[in-house]
């Protein structure tokens, strides 16, 4: 659990409320308090947990967000097009360090994606050793042949251009052209390539969940803040 001790302007700027140079003006415009006592001195030092803005606690020092990513939105900081970060509040976009996606989803893939400004957490969840379960729903161009469930579960499927077979994956057939697939890896375009290896093509792909986090109750483009402190206390995802 973070609770850093530093100047008020440093707290506000790192969390995206304002820049260091704007801090004096911010304190005049908004009620910034330390232990419920309003302050106007940007050089005043305090613990993060003792500061409030307009009687609301500061945003968490480390953020973890879950978003139901829309189609045509790009998981990048600098590519052309609609970037996923533009869907976040301006304050979140100005945080330092920056918020980044944990892994990526293709522009045409929708669904569960996590975002964080915690580099260690990001590395942990994108590491090949993480084995985080990811559940997808895929719509296929052609009906299933009938042997895909067994092949995906075998742990012997070798993708084109790779030397190491995929780990076993669980597939539930929802219809001849609609499946739910659970994988624990995150290889490049993995789901699309798995069906490509079967002579089929994915026409629509939606990630239902990433680990324990599901977007089944989130509207498209909606996000929620995960209680990072609670997860840390429970030992979830945090080393």
Region of poorest pLDDT, from 66-80, 99-113, 225-239: 225-239
Report the catalytic residues. 106
d(CA 238, CA 234): 9
Cβ atoms of 5 and 38 closer than 8 Å: no
Query: Over 50: is that where the pLDDT of 233 sits?
Result: no
- Domain positions in the chain are 5-57, 64-128+215-234, 134-210
Confidence at 228, pLDDT banded by 50, 70, 90: low
Q: What is the largest CA-CA distance in the chain?
A: 70
Domain 5-57 falls under CATH 3.40.640.10: no
Distance CA 21, CA 26 (A): 10
Whether 64-128+215-234 shares its CATH topology with 134-210 is answered yes
Assign 239 a pLDDT band (cuts: 50, 70, 90): very low
What is the DSSP-derived secondary structure letter of residue 120? Answer: H
pLDDT-based confidence at residue 237 (cuts at 50, 70, 90): very low
- Section 91-107 average pLDDT: 96
Tell me the pLDDT tens digit for each residue of 162-190. Answer: 999 999 999 999 999 999 999 999 899 99
Q: What pLDDT does 235 receive?
A: 38
Distance CA 19, CA 141 (A): 50
pLDDT tens per residue across span 30-76: 999 999 999 999 999 999 999 999 999 999 999 999 999 999 999 99
Indicate if the pLDDT at residue 234 is higher than 90.
Answer: no
Q: Are 45 and 69 in contact (CB under 8 A)?
A: no
Beta bridge pairs of residue 138? 179, 205
Q: Looking at domain 64-128+215-234, which of 1.10.1740.10, 3.40.50.1360, 3.40.50.300, 3.30.70.580 is its CATH number?
A: 3.30.70.580
Class of domain 134-210: alpha beta
Q: How far apart are CA 191 and CA 170, in angstroms?
A: 12
């Amino acid at each position: 659990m973070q609770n850093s001790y530093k100047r008020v302007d440093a707290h506000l700027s790192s969390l995206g409320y304002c820049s260091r140079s704007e801090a004096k003006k911010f304190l005049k415009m908004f009620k910034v308090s330390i232990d419920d006592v309003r302050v106007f001195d940007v050089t005043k030092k305090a613990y993060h947990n003792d500061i409030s803005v307009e009687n609301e606690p500061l945003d968490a020092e480390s953020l973890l967000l879950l978003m139901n990513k829309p189609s045509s939105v790009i998981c990048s900081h600098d590519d052309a097009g609609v970037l996923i970060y533009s869907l976040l509040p301006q304050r979140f976009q100005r945080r330092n360090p920056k918020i980044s996606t944990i892994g990526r989803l293709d522009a045409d893939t929708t669904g569960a994606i996590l975002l964080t400004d915690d580099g260690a957490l990001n590395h942990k969840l994108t590491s090949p050793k993480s084995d985080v379960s990811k559940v997808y729903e895929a719509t296929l161009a052609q009906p299933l042949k009938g042997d895909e469930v067994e092949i995906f579960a075998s742990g012997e499927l070798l993708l084109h251009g790779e030397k190491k077979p995929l780990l076993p994956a669980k597939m539930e057939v929802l219809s001849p052209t609609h499946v739910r697939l659970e994988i624990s890896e995150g290889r490049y375009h993995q789901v699309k390539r798995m069906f490509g290896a079967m002579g089929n093509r994915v026409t629509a792909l939606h990630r239902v969940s990433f680990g324990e986090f599901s977007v089944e109750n989130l509207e498209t483009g909606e996000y929620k803040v995960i209680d990072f402190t609670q997860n840390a206390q429970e030992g979830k995802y945090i080393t």
